[in-house]
């Protein structure tokens, strides 16, 4: 239900004051005996099962709309159609095998992107750079470029 003026009347003039008055009104409504959650809100059952994409290592929800493929009597789930396509081409060539639930039998090595913190596969196709016999892996060329610029600046000091 919309109210005009919105929020609790505190003579709010600035955006932070208006936001505070609206928040105060929301709290007052939620704490009142007359409040009832909208129909269909809240959990309508258990949370979906989470599985690991065997290609990129990302955790995904095992639901009908998630890209998936039936394999060896089980379902393998993917974060995107690109990973699904890669998995299917790997399976045709016999490159790898996965178990039901989307987890690989032998998990690929992973690394944490030092720029954004994303966990990535530590493979040759992943953007990476070697500095002083240490290999750094990145989620994308942008993070790799940023890392190289930062390392150059740090090394110059």
pLDDT digits (tens, 9 = 90+) for 77-129: 988 888 888 888 887 665 444 444 444 444 567 888 898 888 888 888 889 99
Same domain, 114 and 149: yes
Who wins on pLDDT, 153 or 149?
149
Q: Tell me which residue has tokens 């599985």.
A: 51
Q: How far apart are CA 103 and CA 148, in angstroms?
A: 33
Same domain, 85 and 62: yes
What are 26-71's pLDDT values in tens digits?
A: 888 888 887 777 665 555 567 788 888 888 888 888 898 999 999 8
Per-residue pLDDT at 42: 54
Is pLDDT at 138 greater than 70 in this prediction? yes
Is pLDDT at 130 greater than 80 in this prediction? yes
Q: How far apart are CA 126 and CA 79, in angstroms?
A: 17
* Residue 135 forms part of a structural domain: yes
- What is the extent of the structural domain holding 10? 1-35
pTM of the model: 0.37
Same domain, 121 and 152: yes
* Residue 118 forms part of a structural domain: yes
* Residue 42 forms part of a structural domain: no
* Residue 100 forms part of a structural domain: no
* Residue 138 forms part of a structural domain: yes
Q: How confident is the model at residue 155 (pLDDT cuts 50, 70, 90)?
A: very low
Same domain, 123 and 152: yes
Q: How many domains does the chain have?
A: 3
Specify burial of residue 41 (Cβ count, 10 A radius: 0-12, 13-18, 19+). exposed
The long-range contacts involving 119-123, CB below 8 angstroms and separated by at least 24 positions, are: 119/57, 120/56, 120/57, 121/55, 121/56, 121/57
């Amino acid at each position: 239900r919309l109210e005009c003026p919105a929020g609790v009347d505190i003579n709010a003039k600035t955006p932070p004051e208006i936001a505070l008055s609206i928040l105060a009104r929301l709290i007052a409504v939620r704490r009142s005996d007359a409040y009832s959650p909208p129909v269909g809100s809240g959990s309508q059952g258990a949370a979906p099962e989470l599985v690991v994409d065997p290609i990129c290592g990302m955790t995904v929800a095992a639901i009908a709309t998630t890209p998936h493929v039936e394999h060896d009597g089980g379902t393998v789930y993917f974060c995107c159609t690109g990973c699904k396509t890669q998995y299917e081409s790997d399976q045709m060539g016999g490159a790898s095998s996965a178990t039901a639930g989307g987890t690989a039998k032998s998990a690929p090595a992973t690394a944490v992107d030092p720029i954004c913190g994303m966990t990535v596969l530590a493979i040759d196709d992943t953007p990476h750079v070697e500095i002083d016999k240490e290999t750094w892996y990145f989620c994308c060329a942008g993070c790799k470029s940023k890392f190289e610029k930062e390392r150059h600046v740090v090394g110059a000091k």
